[in-house]
């Protein structure tokens, strides 16, 4: 029985406990490293897709800028003219080929929200991304509301184009404020995305 309590036996037991604790600690560290690497990969993938999507949306807005500016100027010229405000006069003055609303992509944003990958980014970058998509969604809602409430089949059923022209002037005034603001936000976000490093996120 004395061998059981021999100091060398206690030393062996202590050594075994230390080795077990060290093994558990290393296993936990390895698991944390694996999870961190997965999070970094998720964040990098989300940033790559979001960057591509932001560039697509930026190009879509840029594509319509000249048309919306010119359309607003022509409608104002029509309203300020002394001639009759008929549909024929409107068509002669205004090169109207539709409202040309911007259609925004948001698949990368939806996937990022579903996978919670934004939580792996630096808060300032996640905020900048969210800000752009929120502003974008507000603009999309405004466009949809205008198309649904104003541009209906009955809109063009009268020969007096004054009402239509006035409504479009107010709408385009907002568009010509929102689109440049969006372009500025896009460019600012792209600069942040180009210089971002997900591994520096405060989540780790």
**Digit-coded pLDDT (tens) for 73-132:** 999 999 999 989 998 999 999 999 989 999 999 999 998 888 888 877 888 898 999 999
What confidence score (pLDDT) does residue 194 get?
A: 87
10: nearest Cα among 56, 115, 18:
18
**Portion of the chain with pLDDT greater than 90, in percent:** 50
66: nearest Cα among 180, 181, 152:
180
The model's pLDDT over 40-56, given as tens digits with 9 standing for 90+, comes to 676 788 889 999 999 99
Whether the per-residue pLDDT at 5 is higher than 60: the answer is: no
What confidence score (pLDDT) does residue 201 get?
A: 44
What confidence score (pLDDT) does residue 174 get?
A: 96
Whether the per-residue pLDDT at 140 is higher than 70: the answer is: yes
86, β-bridge pairs: 160
What confidence score (pLDDT) does residue 150 get?
A: 76
98: nearest Cα among 156, 170, 174:
156
What confidence score (pLDDT) does residue 154 get?
A: 65
Q: Which two tokens stand for residue 4?
A: 């059981």
Sign of CA dihedral 98, 100, 101, 107: positive
What confidence score (pLDDT) does residue 203 get?
A: 39
pTM for this entry: 0.76
What confidence score (pLDDT) does residue 200 get?
A: 46
Which of 78-87, 169-178, 189-198 is predicted with the least confidence, judged by mean pLDDT?
189-198
What confidence score (pLDDT) does residue 131 get?
A: 94
The answer to whether residues 86 and 158 touch, using CB atoms and an 8 Å cutoff, is no
């Amino acid at each position: 029985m004395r061998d059981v309590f021999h100091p060398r036996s206690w030393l062996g037991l202590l050594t075994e406990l230390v080795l077990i604790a060290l093994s558990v600690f290393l296993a936990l560290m390895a698991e944390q490293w694996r999870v961190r690497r997965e999070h970094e990969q998720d964040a990098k993938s989300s940033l790559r897709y979001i960057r591509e999507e932001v560039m697509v949306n930026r190009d879509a807005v840029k594509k319509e800028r000249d048309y919306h500016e010119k359309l607003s100027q022509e409608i104002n010229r029509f309203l300020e003219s002394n001639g009759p405000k008929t549909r024929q006069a409107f068509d002669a003055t205004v090169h109207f080929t539709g409202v040309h609303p911007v259609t925004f992509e948001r698949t990368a944003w939806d996937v990022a929200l579903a996978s919670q990958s934004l939580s792996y980014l630096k808060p300032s970058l996640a905020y900048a991304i969210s800000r752009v998509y929120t502003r974008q969604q507000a603009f999309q809602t405004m466009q949809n509301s205008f198309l649904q409430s104003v541009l209906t089949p009955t809109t063009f059923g009268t020969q007096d184009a004054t009402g239509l022209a006035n409504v479009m002037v107010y709408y385009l005034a907002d568009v010509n404020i929102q689109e440049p603001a969006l372009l500025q936000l896009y460019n600012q976000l792209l600069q942040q995305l180009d210089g971002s490093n997900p591994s520096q996120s405060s989540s780790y």
